[in-house]
Amino acid sequence: MLVGARLLIFTRAGLILQAVRDDQNRARYLGFDVTAYQTFFFAVSAAIAGFAGMLYVVVSEFASPTFMDLTFSITMVVWAAVGGRSSILGACIGAIIINVLSATVSETEGFAEAWKAIIGLIFVLVVLYLPRGIAGLAHDFVDRIVTRKSAASSHPLRVSDPSSQLAE
């Protein structure tokens, strides 16, 4: 699903979706049917969610109406916020981090009652201090490294022999 979503993002429809995300009115003025693209991608995301739900039931061998609880939906929002809303891989990493953290904290004796509050606190802190999530933080870190390497490699040419023709 991750690879398929990445491939879909790099198509023309994916580029139009990014334009719609950035500025709906501009995309509409450029002649794109914004509601049609939004409906299409909503249907694609619903298909992915349905497939994921089917796999979840197959793996857990149990289905219950409590799976449609608000808590389960809010957990997915926390996954996306912590990992990064603008990155598909970031949202997956956020899901892994939050699930490991909630499993660890909920099984600890001192935090057994307050583990949802701890996850909520993490969500609030990420939204306030890391609005692009962990993926945004990683992206900024990689940009700094690339900028430092390009600045270090672009030193001016030094001439060691002043009598050479290049020095003139």
Dump pLDDT digits (tens) for 35-57. Answer: 999 999 999 999 998 998 899 88
More confident: 111 or 142? 142
Q: How confident is the model at residue 92 (pLDDT cuts 50, 70, 90)?
A: confident
**3-state DSSP helix/strand/coil % of the chain, to nearest 5:** 80, 0, 20
CA distance 119 to 127: 12
Residue range 132-147, pLDDT digits in tens: 888 888 888 888 888 8
Neighbours of 123 (CB within 10 A): 18
Residue range 74-87, pLDDT digits in tens: 888 888 888 888 77
Q: What is the mean pLDDT of the chain?
A: 84
Maximum mean pLDDT: which of 48-57, 60-69, 110-119, 145-154: 48-57
